[in-house]
A and B are shown apart, each in its own frame.
Chain A
Amino acid sequence: MKPSSFEYVRPESLAETLDLLHQDPEESKVLAGGQSLVPMMNFRLARPSRLIDINRVPGLAGTRVEGDRLVIGTRTRHLAVQNMSGADPLARLLRSAAAHVGHLPIRTRGTFGGSLAHSDAASEWCLIARLLDATMVVESRARGRREIPAADFFLSIFTTAMEPDELLVEVSLPRLGDEHRTGFAEFARRAGDFAIVAVTTDLAVEKGVVTHARVCIGGVADTPFRSGAAEATLVGQRLDDDIATSPLARAAAEAAASEVDPPSDAHGDAPYRRDLVRAMLTSSLAQGVAR
């Protein structure tokens, strides 16, 4: 359980980081929080020959509001997201999802951007990025800055649309007006573990009617799964106060469960994951309405 040997470099600026990535993109790996990378290195499942530690690069951490967008720096720690202020639906959603990310000593180090770049389809930030159609801002020396929509960003488990010489710099999320009802629910057998299935939802509700619906599911595919069927079921419908037991929630849950094609593994077989999609979708919708 000791990593194989690597060269360690610690750039002190973004330009220096991009230069380093440019020199040797295939063999380099960016080290931010390290909470997923280092375990894989300890198991020798990952063996980069060069680690580029971006923890001392200024300007990569923190959040800022730009008009109707919230921009989250790539090295913003999970704990900083959990401690974010704001009573708007987006801030509430981010805080509630952050509370599910590992445990406190993981959240003090692990980063928002690192989690996205790791592209684990069950992880909280990947789901939320996909739910809200976030924009990933990536940068390289060769091609400068470019933006990748979340829909195109996650290619597979541990694989994103970023080129090896690119760094995820920041992520831009749409701020949500008060008409939005967001929720996040996940099921893990043990506190703090990766979810077997996680569901996050965002409904825009006007005069009691759903005008816009987004449903994103983790643990059922290689990438975060947007359930078009569930979204279509919800849009245009009137929300009951007791959504958890409402026919609408049941219909949305059934739509999502029929649409997904989950894998079977030691943590749960496909029928069980479908059951969890039903349960977590219902619970996520209920959270939104309870607010």
Chain B
Amino acid sequence: MTDQAEPTTWVGRSLPRFEDPAILRGWGTYVADIAAHDHGCLYAVFVRSPLASGVLREVSAPAHVRMITAADLAEVHPIAPALTRPDYVTVETPILAHDVVRFVGEPVALVLGDTPAEAEDAAELVSVEIDPLPPVLDASAAVLPDSPLVHPADFPGDPNTVVDGRITTGGYDEVSRGAAHTVEIEVSCSRQSAMPMEARASHAAYDRGSGRVTLSTTTQMPHVVRTGIADCLGIPEDDLRVIAPDVGGGFGAKMALAREDVALVHTARRLRRNLAWVETREENFLASWHSREQRYRVTGSFTEAGELVALGADIVADVGAYSCYPVTYGVEPLMAMAELPGPYRVAEYAVRARAVLSNKCPIAPYRGVSRPVQTLAMERLMDVAALQLGIDRLELRELNLVRDYPHRGPSGLIIDESSHLEALARAAELMDVEEFRERQRAALAQGRYLGQGFSCFAERTGYGTPAFAARSMVITPGYEQVQLAFDPSGGLVLRIGASPHGQGLRTSLAQVVADELGVDPGVVRVVHSDTDQTPYGWGSFGSRAMVIAGGATRRAGADLRDKVTRIAADMMECDPADVELAEGRATVRGTDRSVSIPDITRRAFHSSHLLAEDDVPGLDTTAFYNPGGTFSNAVHAAEVEVEASSGHVRITRFLVVEDAGVLVNPQIVEGQVRGGIAQGIANALYEELIYDDAGNLVTTSLMDFLPPTMQEVPQIEIHHLHSHSDQTITGAKGVGEGGTIGAPGAVLNAVSDALSPLGVGFTHMPVTPAMVRTAIRSATETTHSSTTSGGTR
């Protein structure tokens, strides 16, 4: 629970969310609901490639099947997201495949039906002829000279290599050569799916009068979707309105432009009809963005005393067959390259980070992007080094954690005021390491394996344009703007460019406004996720909305407060400095003279001739915020019991000490942390997307891809620290991704700790029961057992 006392401001209170009553009554409006209520719309089904790689010879269907193929989209531009880095190779994504198919699930044709079932019936009649080609399925083979190419591009370096980033600090070679200890590990992660509970869906409504299309779609970034589609279709953006109604979770998988949406809008315009597409769960696994298939070779150079003086890394991300718009397939390797050192002071750094194409579903960001794997790499490195150097693992971390702020890391990132040492000390105390060691020994004597693991991380949040510009993005996201306006009756509307989909921003931002204007947060209506109704913005992703949209909101509130105060002072003939706003009234401080907000707004709109000469009529403002970014931080700690006979891992305790600065709504913050940890645990122990040797996805149902249930996710204890950073206007730091980032390192360290008596350790996630058993079996069958198929100890 929060350590703060009940505050006197709205900010800091666990206000129940304004979003909830409608959702709880079943009155939410998700995209598929719009389609369900539109009895006149046609349903689209996408026919998808059954092969990983091949030459597309022919797509044909009986005459009565209403089918759209690439030939019908000749005038539509492909999606071609780009970075201006010299090592970046741009590949184009056609809206529907033509000539070549590049992954199982790639859309080849769009088929229409009067009902979803009839559209499926029609899709079954489509015949797709493909001459198979050998697929590229393994990143290490893909970069070899004789590898087939996923795209016939001009690769400046190795084949299929579309990003090849490097940083080497001046002293790296010398320092790493001279180090007392060198610790090398290889860390990897299976492909992941963000798997929001709501798969993707879109409804394109064509308005005959205006010729405009209103696209309701499951996106985290409606304005960017509008830009992307308008650019593909070559139409003015205003011909398209994009709405993200209630969105059933995104976690990053809904922040990339969908080819399906471009096809749908184009077809709706051409047919002048309303169209709907509701993705199935199977399609969601096949074609809706994967993530995190990464391998890290990490070398840590330590002094005798344990100081990490140099860090080397070779990072390869298997990014699938195409890029993603707007962040590109550079997102994983380039984030890993910039942020791998995390919370540790590393003076010398040499890193190579590559994105390699394959004939698999393209990747897009997923909660934490590279950081769950980065953090796993650093935290396993710390534990392995601690064993190798004979230093206590927490002391080793303490020795190397950033302690002075701001701290400039070797890639140029600046960590603002944080609390790494405090968080570690607190976590160690709460987990009572000594007491645990006793329990662990006692259990081992009975043949039971208990383990405890820690994971420290710095979560870069609220990236503004400078952070994205550093990645040389052609489309550079970052800022947010908001419009805050009173209406004449005193009603208050905040319009934001961010696009929440479960984060409770309507509540948190209302709390921020309420404090600035002395009103009840219940009167603040927050409008979002509609390009006709909101200022241009980048949406909700990357732990950014509360920092950036929150900062802009506070600025807007302050601006409007000045104007309200001025008018009130005029009305009450007092000094504006003496006016105080509270409980919906402006009062002359220390008196009972007051006017209500509606009195003031009426004057601003309807008696504007009484306003000061330089005041414009009305009461509204637009504010903007573009921060450099701020770091939240946390330590995660897990206790596990490993059942040796089955390989089953049970998490018996999970603790978080986290620092997200000011908590605007602590209950919402804790919800983000817990939900993130559940996904981190899922990543660590349960979930993986598996392709077979022919490039077929094997895990296409929820019986094969295993999101954990309530039985598998433990109760999570949360403790807060509150550092004061001047890098965020509200004092809030982002928390959306932290849970997912920290949990895998803690879990894998705990499992490895549990099995350390057998010399077994794990560096690949997820760690499945079968892997645990295999490792135990080989450790107990052979006498010398320092390494296992699970990885380095």
Judge A-B direct contact (beta carbons within 8 Å): yes
Query: Are B120 and A44 in touch, CB under 8 angstroms?
Result: yes
Q: Kindly state whether residue A207 has any CB partner on chain B within 8 Å.
A: no
Q: Kindly state whether residue B117 has any CB partner on chain A within 8 Å.
A: yes
Query: Are A272 and B686 in touch, CB under 8 angstroms?
Result: no
Contacts of B774 in A (CB 8 A): 271-272
A278 to B777, CA, bound (A): 13
Query: Are A268 and B770 in touch, CB under 8 angstroms?
Result: yes
Number of interface residues of A (CB under 8 A): 26
Contact of A190 among B121, B686, B770 (CB under 8 A): B686
Q: Kindly state whether residue A3 has any CB partner on chain B within 8 Å.
A: yes
Main secondary structure of the interface of B (DSSP, over half): loop
The answer to whether residues A190 and B708 also contact, given A2-B117, A44-B120, A266-B699 and a CB cut-off of 8 A, is: yes
Which residues of chain B from 157 to 206 have any CB-CB distance to chain A below 8 Å in the complex? none
- Using an 8 Å CB-CB cutoff, how does the interface string of A251-291 with B read, 1 for contact, 0 for none? 00000000000000011110110011011101000000000
Query: Are B117 and A3 in touch, CB under 8 angstroms?
Result: yes
B96 CB to closest chain A CB (Å) equals 21
Query: Are B773 and A272 in touch, CB under 8 angstroms?
Result: yes
The answer to whether residues A193 and B282 also contact, given A271-B774, A272-B647, A275-B647 and a CB cut-off of 8 A, is: no
The answer to whether residues A190 and B712 also contact, given A272-B647, A279-B646 and a CB cut-off of 8 A, is: yes
Query: Are B711 and A191 in touch, CB under 8 angstroms?
Result: yes
Query: Are B777 and A271 in touch, CB under 8 angstroms?
Result: yes
Q: Kindly state whether residue A87 has any CB partner on chain B within 8 Å.
A: no
Q: Kindly state whether residue B116 has any CB partner on chain A within 8 Å.
A: yes
Chain B CB within 10 Å, residue with most, of A5, A266, A269, A278: A266
A72 CB to closest chain B CB (Å) equals 26
Q: Kindly state whether residue A194 has any CB partner on chain B within 8 Å.
A: yes
The answer to whether residues A275 and B116 also contact, given A5-B121, A192-B709 and a CB cut-off of 8 A, is: no
Residue of A nearest to B706 (CB): A190
Q: Kindly state whether residue A13 has any CB partner on chain B within 8 Å.
A: no
Q: Kindly state whether residue A189 has any CB partner on chain B within 8 Å.
A: yes
Q: Kindly state whether residue B698 has any CB partner on chain A within 8 Å.
A: yes
Q: Kindly state whether residue B690 has any CB partner on chain A within 8 Å.
A: yes
Query: Are A187 and B282 in touch, CB under 8 angstroms?
Result: no
The answer to whether residues A191 and B712 also contact, given A1-B282, A266-B704, A269-B770 and a CB cut-off of 8 A, is: yes
Q: Kindly state whether residue B768 has any CB partner on chain A within 8 Å.
A: yes
Which residues of chain B from 694 to 719 have any CB-CB distance to chain A below 8 Å in the complex? 698-699, 701, 703-704, 706, 708-712
Query: Are B769 and A189 in touch, CB under 8 angstroms?
Result: yes
Query: Are A194 and B120 in touch, CB under 8 angstroms?
Result: no
B445 CB to closest chain A CB (Å) equals 14
Residue of B nearest to A191 (CB): B711
A194 to B701, CA, bound (A): 13
Which residues of chain B from 99 to 121 have any CB-CB distance to chain A below 8 Å in the complex? 115-117, 120-121
Contacts of A268 in B (CB 8 A): 769-770
Q: Kindly state whether residue A8 has any CB partner on chain B within 8 Å.
A: no
The answer to whether residues A275 and B121 also contact, given A2-B116, A189-B686 and a CB cut-off of 8 A, is: no
Q: Kindly state whether residue A156 has any CB partner on chain B within 8 Å.
A: no
- Using an 8 Å CB-CB cutoff, how does the interface string of B641-670 with A read, 1 for contact, 0 for none? 001011110000000000000000000000
- Using an 8 Å CB-CB cutoff, how does the interface string of A17-61 with B read, 1 for contact, 0 for none? 000000000000000000000000001100000000000000000
Q: Kindly state whether residue B281 has any CB partner on chain A within 8 Å.
A: yes
Contact of A282 among B645, B647, B703 (CB under 8 A): B645
Query: Are A278 and B645 in touch, CB under 8 angstroms?
Result: yes
Q: Kindly state whether residue B4 has any CB partner on chain A within 8 Å.
A: no
Contacts of B282 in A (CB 8 A): 1, 43
- Using an 8 Å CB-CB cutoff, how does the interface string of B630-648 with A read, 1 for contact, 0 for none? 0000000000000101111
Contacts of A194 in B (CB 8 A): 703
Contacts of A275 in B (CB 8 A): 645-647, 773, 777
A190 to B708, CA, bound (A): 6
Q: Kindly state whether residue B280 has any CB partner on chain A within 8 Å.
A: yes
Residue of A nearest to B766 (CB): A189
Q: Kindly state whether residue A83 has any CB partner on chain B within 8 Å.
A: no
Number of residue pairs spanning A and B whose beta carbons lie under 8 angstroms apart: 69
Q: Kindly state whether residue A4 has any CB partner on chain B within 8 Å.
A: yes
Residue of B nearest to A187 (CB): B646
Which residues of chain A from 123 to 142 have any CB-CB distance to chain B below 8 Å in the complex? none
Query: Are B768 and A190 in touch, CB under 8 angstroms?
Result: no
Contacts of B706 in A (CB 8 A): 189-190, 193
Contacts of A267 in B (CB 8 A): 704
A190 to B682, CA, bound (A): 11
The answer to whether residues A276 and B646 also contact, given A44-B120, A266-B698 and a CB cut-off of 8 A, is: yes
A3 to B115, CA, bound (A): 12
B21 CB to closest chain A CB (Å) equals 25
Query: Are B648 and A191 in touch, CB under 8 angstroms?
Result: no
A80 to B643, CA, bound (A): 33
A191 to B709, CA, bound (A): 7
A90 to B203, CA, bound (A): 54
Contacts of B773 in A (CB 8 A): 271-272, 275
Residue of A nearest to B648 (CB): A187
Contacts of A272 in B (CB 8 A): 647, 769-770, 773-774
Chain A CB within 10 Å, residue with most, of B115, B117, B643, B699: B117
A209 to B643, CA, bound (A): 30
A260 to B704, CA, bound (A): 24
B485 CB to closest chain A CB (Å) equals 44
Residue of B nearest to A190 (CB): B706
B789 CB to closest chain A CB (Å) equals 12
B105 CB to closest chain A CB (Å) equals 15
A70 CB to closest chain B CB (Å) equals 31
- Using an 8 Å CB-CB cutoff, how does the interface string of B714-748 with A read, 1 for contact, 0 for none? 00000000000000000000000000000000000
Contacts of B116 in A (CB 8 A): 2
Query: Are A4 and B712 in touch, CB under 8 angstroms?
Result: no
A278 to B774, CA, bound (A): 14
Query: Are B768 and A189 in touch, CB under 8 angstroms?
Result: yes
Which residues of chain A from 163 to 196 have any CB-CB distance to chain B below 8 Å in the complex? 187, 189-194
Residue of A nearest to B707 (CB): A190
Contacts of B769 in A (CB 8 A): 187, 189, 268, 272
Contacts of B117 in A (CB 8 A): 2-5
Query: Are A190 and B711 in touch, CB under 8 angstroms?
Result: yes
A193 to B769, CA, bound (A): 15
A271 to B643, CA, bound (A): 17
Query: Are A190 and B646 in touch, CB under 8 angstroms?
Result: no
Contacts of A187 in B (CB 8 A): 646, 648, 769
Residue of B nearest to A253 (CB): B645
A223 CB to closest chain B CB (Å) equals 20
Contacts of A276 in B (CB 8 A): 646
Chain A CB within 10 Å, residue with most, of B704, B770, B774: B770
Which residues of chain B from 604 to 645 have any CB-CB distance to chain A below 8 Å in the complex? 643, 645
Query: Are A1 and B280 in touch, CB under 8 angstroms?
Result: yes
Residue of B nearest to A197 (CB): B646
A278 to B121, CA, bound (A): 47
Contacts of A192 in B (CB 8 A): 709
Residue of B nearest to A244 (CB): B645
Contacts of B115 in A (CB 8 A): 2
B29 CB to closest chain A CB (Å) equals 22
Residue of B nearest to A42 (CB): B280
Query: Are A193 and B703 in touch, CB under 8 angstroms?
Result: yes
Residue of A nearest to B120 (CB): A2
A268 to B769, CA, bound (A): 9
A189 to B106, CA, bound (A): 31
B92 CB to closest chain A CB (Å) equals 31
A146 to B645, CA, bound (A): 43
Contacts of A44 in B (CB 8 A): 120, 124
Q: Given A1-B120, A271-B774, 16 more contacts at CB 8 Å? A: A2-B115, A4-B117, A43-B282, A187-B646, A187-B648, A187-B769, A189-B648, A189-B768, A190-B709, A191-B709, A191-B711, A192-B709, A269-B770, A272-B647, A275-B646, A279-B643
Task: Show 19 residue pairs from A and B whose CB-CB distance is below 8 angstroms, ordered by the A residue.
Answer: A1-B281, A1-B282, A2-B115, A2-B120, A3-B117, A44-B120, A187-B648, A190-B706, A190-B709, A190-B711, A191-B710, A266-B704, A268-B770, A272-B647, A272-B770, A272-B774, A275-B647, A278-B645, A282-B645
Q: Considering the complex of A and B, which 6 residue pairs feature the smallest CB-CB distances, nearest first?
A: A2-B117, A279-B645, A191-B711, A1-B280, A272-B770, A279-B646
